[in-house]
């Protein structure tokens, strides 16, 4: 197995890859000790049985520039194939400001082709390639060098088997006429906005019981400070302070270092120095925030008048439709989507695009009393009323 450790070697492989219809891609990375993922290895493969058709790219050895790879990512004549691409795309966007196009995600395609929800790579190798997959190196430290032969073999398997999986799923999508379903999902996945973290929006991920605007204003400022500090120092946000400590701080509203020392949940390192100063300043900004600029809690769901019987019928319809089509139900509609439809909401993802084609149109007809559901043996059928 070949490992590329120079820019020239990577350039040669990427130039040759342009002659092929697709290239499979995977990465190995670490994120336990950093805010941003540390890229440790890139695996690439093109069609063919040649030993050089699959390579490892080691960015930690020498001074290899990934720009030749990024140029390949920009070449729209070559499909870039990933499995569960989201974390890989974040790495490449943060490092190189590039999103591979066109892109094919075998996990998304497998969900559309009847392999279940968030199907794992190992499952696809077993069901499509008909081979076992050695996962013993899954949890190794990919930043340590030299890599063992077992690590290299494991890493390379993540792109060599992916070739057959891609070809099978692409053919299945063409056969069933569902390629445009996956394309709709990929438009969302490849939106760079997914990979830009705005510190001022970080508070939306913090779960709180209190929803008063003033409390949320302090939560917003504390979360924004934590996010900026973690980004600047490239450390996990929980190393600054955890969510439970953030909620405690928003409740107690410390104004002095002595107040901080009374916290039960704040890490010792956060009670002094730059973190302590940042906390106190964030609390002050939250408390002095004008009422018109305070966060407004989302009450839209509270106002929904859900018809529980209709919501249950929609769940039965969804199960019937997705089982018949061989599509993962959660990919089509979430439980909250169904409740929203039952409450009369119409700006719902399940009612747009390919989801409307599969489920949404009949969901609206069910709500309007135009169709009913009838059980026949082990199946549920739609009947006209």
- Round to whole Å and give the CA distance between 80 and 22: 6
**pTM as predicted:** 0.90
Mean per-residue pLDDT, 291-296:
93
Q: Residue 53: which pLDDT band, with cuts at 50, 70 and 90? A: very high
- Round to whole Å and give the CA distance between 94 and 194: 11
Contact 260, 253 (CB under 8 A): no
Q: What is the mean pLDDT of the chain?
A: 94
3-class DSSP state of 180: helix
The residue ranking higher by pLDDT, 209 or 75, is 75
Q: Residue 12: which pLDDT band, with cuts at 50, 70 and 90? A: very high
pLDDT at 247: 97
How many other C-beta atoms lie within 10 A of the C-beta of residue 317? 21
Q: Is the pLDDT of residue 191 over 90?
A: yes
Q: Six-digit token pair at 196?
A: 């830009």
pLDDT at 187: 95
Q: Residue 133: which pLDDT band, with cuts at 50, 70 and 90? A: confident
Q: Residue 215: which pLDDT band, with cuts at 50, 70 and 90? A: very high
Mean per-residue pLDDT, 185-200:
94
Interval 113-122: pLDDT, tens: 999 887 899 9
Q: Residue 1: which pLDDT band, with cuts at 50, 70 and 90? A: confident
Closest to 373 measured CA to CA, from 306, 310, 331: 310
Closest to 357 measured CA to CA, from 315, 314, 320, 321: 321
- Round to whole Å and give the CA distance between 211 and 17: 53
Contact 92, 116 (CB under 8 A): no
Interval 58-69: pLDDT, tens: 999 988 999 999
The residue ranking higher by pLDDT, 121 or 1, is 121
Cα end-to-end distance, the chain, whole Å: 63
Contact 11, 68 (CB under 8 A): yes
- Round to whole Å and give the CA distance between 70 and 14: 9
Instruction: Give the single-character DSSP code of 272.
Output: S
Q: Is the pLDDT of residue 235 over 70?
A: yes
Interval 237-275: pLDDT, tens: 999 999 999 999 999 999 999 999 999 999 999 999 999
Separation of CA 374 from chain center: 37
Q: Is the pLDDT of residue 168 over 70?
A: yes
Mutual angle of helices 273-287 and 243-252, in 10-degree steps: 50
Question: What domains, with CATH codes, occur in the chain?
Answer: 2-195 (3.30.420.10), 199-293 (1.10.150.80), 308-384 (1.10.150)
Closest to 206 measured CA to CA, from 250, 240, 239: 250
pLDDT cut 70: percent of the chain above it: 98
Q: Per this entry, what is the length of the chain?
A: 385
pLDDT cut 90: percent of the chain above it: 89
Q: Six-digit token pair at 204?
A: 């939306």
pLDDT at 382: 92
Q: Six-digit token pair at 216?
A: 């949320």
Taking CA atoms, 210 is separated from 168, 224, 227, 350, in Å, by: 50, 18, 21, 31
Contact 257, 271 (CB under 8 A): yes
Interval 329-380: pLDDT, tens: 989 999 999 999 999 999 999 999 999 999 999 999 999 999 999 998 888 9
pLDDT at 333: 96
How many other C-beta atoms lie within 10 A of the C-beta of residue 184? 13
């Amino acid at each position: 197995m070949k490992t590329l450790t120079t820019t020239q070697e990577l350039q040669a492989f990427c130039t040759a890859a342009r002659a092929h219809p697709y290239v499979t891609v995977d990465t190995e990375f670490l994120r336990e000790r950093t805010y941003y993922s540390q890229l440790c290895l890139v695996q690439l493969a093109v069609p063919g049985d040649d030993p050089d058709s699959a390579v490892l790219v080691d960015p930690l050895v020498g001074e290899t520039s990934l720009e030749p790879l990024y140029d390949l990512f920009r070449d729209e004549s070559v499909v870039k194939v990933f499995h569960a691409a989201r974390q890989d795309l974040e790495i490449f966007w943060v490092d190189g400001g590039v999103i591979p196009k066109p892109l094919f995600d075998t996990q998304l395609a497998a969900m559309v082709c009847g392999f279940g929800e968030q199907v794992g790579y190992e499952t696809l190798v077993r069901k499509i390639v008909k081979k076992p997959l050695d996962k013993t190196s899954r949890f190794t430290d990919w930043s340590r060098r030299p890599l063992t032969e077992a690590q290299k073999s494991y890493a390379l398997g993540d792109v060599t088997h992916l070739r057959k999986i891609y070809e099978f799923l692409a053919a299945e999508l063409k056969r069933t006429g569902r390629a445009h379903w996956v394309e709709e999902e990929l438009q969302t996945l490849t939106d760079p906005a997914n990979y830009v973290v705005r510190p001022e929006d970080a508070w939306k991920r913090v779960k709180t019981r209190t929803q008063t605007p003033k409390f949320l204003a302090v939560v917003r400022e504390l979360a924004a400070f934590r996010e900026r500090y973690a980004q600047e120092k490239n450390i996990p946000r929980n190393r600054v302070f955890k969510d439970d400590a953030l909620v405690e701080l928003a409740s107690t509203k410390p104004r002095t270092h002595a107040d901080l020392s009374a916290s039960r949940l704040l890490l010792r390192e956060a009670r002094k120095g730059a973190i302590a100063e940042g906390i106190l300043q964030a609390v002050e900004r939250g408390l002095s925030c004008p009422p018109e600029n305070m966060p407004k809690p989302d009450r839209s769901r509270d106002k929904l008048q859900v018809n529980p019987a209709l919501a249950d019928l929609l769940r039965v319809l969804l199960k019937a439709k997705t089982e018949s089509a061989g599509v993962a139900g959660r990919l089509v509609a979430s439980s909250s989507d169904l409740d929203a439809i039952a409450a009369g909401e119409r700006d719902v993802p399940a009612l747009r695009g390919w989801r409307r084609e599969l489920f949404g149109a009949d969901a609206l007809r069910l709500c309007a009393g135009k169709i009913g559901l009838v059980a026949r043996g082990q199946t549920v059928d739609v009947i006209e009323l």
